[in-house]
Amino acid sequence: MLIRIWNMVWKEIVQLARDRLMTAFIFLLPLVQLALLAQATGRRIGDLKVVVLDRDRTAVTRALISDLDNQEELAVRYYVDDMRELESFLDLGKADVGVVFPRGLTRDLADPTRTSQVHVLIDGSNAVVGGIASGAVSAVFARYEQEQLRARGLAIVPPIDLRLTTYYNPTYNTRYFAIPAQVGFIIYQITLAVASLGLARERELGTLEQLIVTPLSRLELVLGKAIPAFIIGVVNFIFLLGVTVHVFGVPMRGS
Protein backbone atom coordinates (compact mmCIF):
# COMPACT_ATOMS: atom_id res chain seq x y z
CA MET A 1 0.00 0.00 0.00
CA LEU A 2 2.79 2.42 0.89
CA ILE A 3 4.46 1.78 -2.45
CA ARG A 4 1.24 2.58 -4.32
CA ILE A 5 0.77 5.77 -2.32
CA TRP A 6 4.38 6.76 -2.95
CA ASN A 7 3.96 6.15 -6.69
CA MET A 8 0.91 8.42 -6.67
CA VAL A 9 2.79 11.11 -4.74
CA TRP A 10 5.75 10.92 -7.12
CA LYS A 11 3.44 11.21 -10.14
CA GLU A 12 1.91 14.40 -8.71
CA ILE A 13 5.34 15.87 -8.01
CA VAL A 14 6.51 15.12 -11.56
CA GLN A 15 3.37 16.67 -13.05
CA LEU A 16 3.80 19.81 -10.97
CA ALA A 17 7.46 20.08 -11.97
CA ARG A 18 6.52 19.83 -15.64
CA ASP A 19 3.81 22.49 -15.34
CA ARG A 20 5.87 25.68 -15.17
CA LEU A 21 2.81 27.88 -14.83
CA MET A 22 1.54 25.94 -11.84
CA THR A 23 5.01 25.90 -10.26
CA ALA A 24 5.28 29.67 -10.62
CA PHE A 25 1.77 30.04 -9.21
CA ILE A 26 2.61 27.91 -6.17
CA PHE A 27 5.64 29.99 -5.26
CA LEU A 28 4.51 33.47 -6.37
CA LEU A 29 1.03 33.42 -4.80
CA PRO A 30 2.31 33.08 -1.20
CA LEU A 31 4.84 35.82 -1.94
CA VAL A 32 2.11 38.19 -3.13
CA GLN A 33 -0.08 37.33 -0.13
CA LEU A 34 2.82 37.93 2.25
CA ALA A 35 3.53 41.31 0.63
CA LEU A 36 -0.12 42.35 0.94
CA LEU A 37 -0.38 41.28 4.57
CA ALA A 38 2.94 42.90 5.46
CA GLN A 39 1.86 46.17 3.86
CA ALA A 40 -1.48 46.06 5.66
CA THR A 41 -0.34 45.06 9.13
CA GLY A 42 3.39 45.72 9.42
CA ARG A 43 5.74 48.63 9.06
CA ARG A 44 9.20 49.31 10.38
CA ILE A 45 8.65 51.91 13.07
CA GLY A 46 11.91 53.71 12.59
CA ASP A 47 11.37 55.92 9.59
CA LEU A 48 8.48 58.17 10.59
CA LYS A 49 8.93 61.29 8.49
CA VAL A 50 8.85 64.61 10.35
CA VAL A 51 8.18 68.02 8.79
CA VAL A 52 9.26 71.07 10.82
CA LEU A 53 8.01 74.66 10.86
CA ASP A 54 10.56 76.65 12.89
CA ARG A 55 9.31 80.19 13.47
CA ASP A 56 11.84 80.89 16.23
CA ARG A 57 15.04 79.86 14.42
CA THR A 58 17.31 79.84 17.46
CA ALA A 59 19.96 77.54 18.86
CA VAL A 60 17.36 76.03 21.20
CA THR A 61 14.96 75.06 18.42
CA ARG A 62 17.83 73.73 16.31
CA ALA A 63 18.87 71.56 19.27
CA LEU A 64 15.29 70.28 19.65
CA ILE A 65 15.11 69.49 15.93
CA SER A 66 18.37 67.57 16.25
CA ASP A 67 16.92 65.64 19.20
CA LEU A 68 13.86 64.76 17.12
CA ASP A 69 16.05 63.53 14.28
CA ASN A 70 18.15 61.46 16.69
CA GLN A 71 15.09 59.75 18.15
CA GLU A 72 15.03 56.16 16.90
CA GLU A 73 11.46 56.25 15.60
CA LEU A 74 11.67 59.67 13.92
CA ALA A 75 13.50 61.22 10.98
CA VAL A 76 13.34 64.95 10.23
CA ARG A 77 12.99 65.11 6.46
CA TYR A 78 11.35 68.41 5.56
CA TYR A 79 11.42 72.09 6.56
CA VAL A 80 8.60 74.45 5.61
CA ASP A 81 7.89 78.16 5.99
CA ASP A 82 4.15 78.26 6.68
CA MET A 83 1.38 76.24 8.30
CA ARG A 84 -0.49 75.55 5.08
CA GLU A 85 2.56 73.91 3.54
CA LEU A 86 3.07 71.78 6.65
CA GLU A 87 -0.53 70.57 6.58
CA SER A 88 -0.22 69.72 2.89
CA PHE A 89 2.67 67.37 3.70
CA LEU A 90 0.36 65.49 6.09
CA ASP A 91 -2.57 65.56 3.65
CA LEU A 92 -0.47 64.08 0.85
CA GLY A 93 1.10 61.43 3.08
CA LYS A 94 4.61 62.83 2.64
CA ALA A 95 5.07 63.19 6.40
CA ASP A 96 3.77 61.39 9.48
CA VAL A 97 4.45 64.13 12.03
CA GLY A 98 4.49 67.93 11.87
CA VAL A 99 6.19 70.02 14.57
CA VAL A 100 5.61 73.78 14.90
CA PHE A 101 8.03 75.86 17.00
CA PRO A 102 6.39 79.26 17.67
CA ARG A 103 8.14 82.61 17.68
CA GLY A 104 9.54 83.51 21.09
CA LEU A 105 9.90 79.90 22.24
CA THR A 106 13.46 80.44 23.48
CA ARG A 107 12.42 83.59 25.34
CA ASP A 108 9.52 81.78 27.00
CA LEU A 109 11.75 78.89 28.05
CA ALA A 110 14.05 81.33 29.83
CA ASP A 111 11.17 82.94 31.77
CA PRO A 112 9.66 80.78 34.57
CA THR A 113 6.47 82.85 34.49
CA ARG A 114 5.73 81.96 30.87
CA THR A 115 4.33 78.79 29.34
CA SER A 116 6.10 77.49 26.24
CA GLN A 117 3.86 75.86 23.65
CA VAL A 118 4.90 73.56 20.82
CA HIS A 119 2.25 72.33 18.39
CA VAL A 120 2.59 68.76 17.10
CA LEU A 121 0.40 67.41 14.28
CA ILE A 122 0.22 63.64 13.83
CA ASP A 123 -1.20 61.56 10.98
CA GLY A 124 -3.43 59.09 12.82
CA SER A 125 -4.71 57.24 9.75
CA ASN A 126 -2.62 54.28 10.93
CA ALA A 127 -3.42 53.98 14.63
CA VAL A 128 -0.28 52.01 15.49
CA VAL A 129 2.06 54.44 13.74
CA GLY A 130 0.22 57.46 15.16
CA GLY A 131 0.46 56.17 18.71
CA ILE A 132 4.17 55.45 18.40
CA ALA A 133 4.82 58.85 16.83
CA SER A 134 2.99 60.58 19.68
CA GLY A 135 5.01 58.71 22.29
CA ALA A 136 8.31 59.35 20.50
CA VAL A 137 7.75 63.11 20.23
CA SER A 138 6.64 63.35 23.86
CA ALA A 139 9.76 61.44 24.93
CA VAL A 140 12.02 63.90 23.09
CA PHE A 141 10.58 66.95 24.87
CA ALA A 142 10.47 65.19 28.25
CA ARG A 143 14.15 64.33 27.84
CA TYR A 144 14.93 67.94 26.93
CA GLU A 145 13.30 69.15 30.14
CA GLN A 146 15.34 66.67 32.19
CA GLU A 147 18.53 67.83 30.50
CA GLN A 148 17.68 71.45 31.33
CA LEU A 149 17.13 70.52 34.97
CA ARG A 150 20.59 68.97 35.18
CA ALA A 151 22.28 71.76 33.21
CA ARG A 152 20.82 74.59 35.31
CA GLY A 153 20.93 72.75 38.63
CA LEU A 154 17.31 73.67 39.30
CA ALA A 155 14.49 71.74 40.87
CA ILE A 156 12.08 72.87 38.17
CA VAL A 157 12.23 74.48 34.73
CA PRO A 158 9.43 76.07 32.71
CA PRO A 159 7.57 73.12 31.17
CA ILE A 160 6.89 72.82 27.46
CA ASP A 161 3.17 72.65 26.77
CA LEU A 162 3.07 70.04 24.01
CA ARG A 163 -0.16 70.49 22.04
CA LEU A 164 -0.79 67.21 20.22
CA THR A 165 -3.34 67.25 17.39
CA THR A 166 -4.15 64.00 15.60
CA TYR A 167 -5.48 64.22 12.05
CA TYR A 168 -7.80 61.74 10.29
CA ASN A 169 -8.19 59.36 13.28
CA PRO A 170 -8.13 61.31 16.57
CA THR A 171 -9.12 58.31 18.72
CA TYR A 172 -6.55 55.96 17.12
CA ASN A 173 -9.31 53.50 16.22
CA THR A 174 -7.57 50.49 14.65
CA ARG A 175 -10.68 49.68 12.61
CA TYR A 176 -10.12 52.75 10.46
CA PHE A 177 -6.97 51.34 8.87
CA ALA A 178 -7.28 47.58 9.47
CA ILE A 179 -10.70 46.94 7.91
CA PRO A 180 -10.02 48.71 4.55
CA ALA A 181 -6.79 46.71 4.25
CA GLN A 182 -8.68 43.49 4.96
CA VAL A 183 -11.28 44.39 2.34
CA GLY A 184 -8.54 44.71 -0.28
CA PHE A 185 -7.10 41.33 0.67
CA ILE A 186 -10.54 39.65 0.59
CA ILE A 187 -11.31 41.08 -2.86
CA TYR A 188 -7.95 39.83 -4.12
CA GLN A 189 -8.71 36.32 -2.85
CA ILE A 190 -12.23 36.27 -4.31
CA THR A 191 -11.11 37.51 -7.73
CA LEU A 192 -8.33 34.95 -7.88
CA ALA A 193 -10.68 32.14 -6.80
CA VAL A 194 -13.29 33.07 -9.43
CA ALA A 195 -10.69 33.09 -12.22
CA SER A 196 -9.19 29.78 -11.07
CA LEU A 197 -12.55 28.05 -10.68
CA GLY A 198 -13.59 29.24 -14.14
CA LEU A 199 -10.61 27.51 -15.76
CA ALA A 200 -11.11 24.40 -13.62
CA ARG A 201 -14.77 24.23 -14.68
CA GLU A 202 -13.84 24.50 -18.36
CA ARG A 203 -11.41 21.61 -17.96
CA GLU A 204 -13.92 19.52 -16.00
CA LEU A 205 -16.61 19.99 -18.65
CA GLY A 206 -14.15 19.26 -21.44
CA THR A 207 -14.62 22.64 -23.10
CA LEU A 208 -11.11 23.93 -22.43
CA GLU A 209 -9.72 22.04 -25.43
CA GLN A 210 -12.46 23.56 -27.58
CA LEU A 211 -11.44 27.05 -26.46
CA ILE A 212 -7.81 26.32 -27.28
CA VAL A 213 -8.59 25.36 -30.89
CA THR A 214 -10.75 28.45 -31.48
CA PRO A 215 -9.27 31.50 -33.30
CA LEU A 216 -8.86 33.24 -29.94
CA SER A 217 -5.32 34.32 -29.15
CA ARG A 218 -3.80 33.67 -25.73
CA LEU A 219 -4.29 37.30 -24.76
CA GLU A 220 -7.94 37.27 -25.82
CA LEU A 221 -8.52 34.04 -23.90
CA VAL A 222 -6.90 35.42 -20.75
CA LEU A 223 -8.81 38.70 -20.99
CA GLY A 224 -12.07 36.86 -21.62
CA LYS A 225 -11.55 34.91 -18.41
CA ALA A 226 -10.13 37.80 -16.37
CA ILE A 227 -12.72 40.49 -17.14
CA PRO A 228 -15.69 38.62 -15.56
CA ALA A 229 -13.56 37.98 -12.47
CA PHE A 230 -12.67 41.68 -12.39
CA ILE A 231 -16.34 42.70 -12.64
CA ILE A 232 -17.23 40.32 -9.80
CA GLY A 233 -14.40 41.81 -7.75
CA VAL A 234 -15.69 45.35 -8.34
CA VAL A 235 -19.25 44.37 -7.35
CA ASN A 236 -17.95 42.66 -4.22
CA PHE A 237 -15.83 45.70 -3.40
CA ILE A 238 -18.84 48.03 -3.60
CA PHE A 239 -20.84 45.67 -1.37
CA LEU A 240 -18.05 45.31 1.20
CA LEU A 241 -17.41 49.06 1.12
CA GLY A 242 -21.04 49.63 2.09
CA VAL A 243 -20.72 47.10 4.92
CA THR A 244 -17.48 48.73 6.07
CA VAL A 245 -19.06 52.19 6.24
CA HIS A 246 -22.58 51.40 7.50
CA VAL A 247 -22.00 48.31 9.67
CA PHE A 248 -18.49 48.83 11.04
CA GLY A 249 -18.66 52.62 11.06
CA VAL A 250 -15.43 53.27 9.15
CA PRO A 251 -15.65 56.77 7.61
CA MET A 252 -14.69 57.19 3.97
CA ARG A 253 -13.44 60.73 3.40
CA GLY A 254 -11.17 62.41 0.89
CA SER A 255 -10.88 62.68 -2.86
48-167 folds as abc type-2 transporter like fold (3.40.1710)
- The count of other CB atoms within 10 Å of the CB of residue 191 is 20
Q: What is the pLDDT of residue 253?
A: 73
d(CA 81, CA 216): 60
pTM of the model: 0.68
d(CA 224, CA 21): 19
- Residue 132 makes CB contacts below 8 A (sequence gap 6+) with 45, 48, 73
Of the pLDDT bands very low, low, confident and very high (cuts 50, 70, 90), residue 99 is very high
Q: What is the pLDDT of residue 88?
A: 94
Q: What is the pLDDT of residue 114?
A: 78
* Higher local confidence (pLDDT), 131 or 80: 80
User: In sequence order, which ranges of 19-126 are alpha helices (DSSP H)?
Assistant: 20-41, 59-70, 83-91, 105-110
What are φ and ψ of residue 164, in 5° steps? -90, 125
- The count of other CB atoms within 10 Å of the CB of residue 74 is 25
For 179-221, the pLDDT digits (tens) are 888 898 889 888 888 887 877 777 777 777 777 777 878 788 7
* Higher local confidence (pLDDT), 193 or 51: 51
Where exactly are the structural domains of the chain?
48-167, 174-255
For 112-136, the pLDDT digits (tens) are 777 788 999 999 888 888 889 999 9
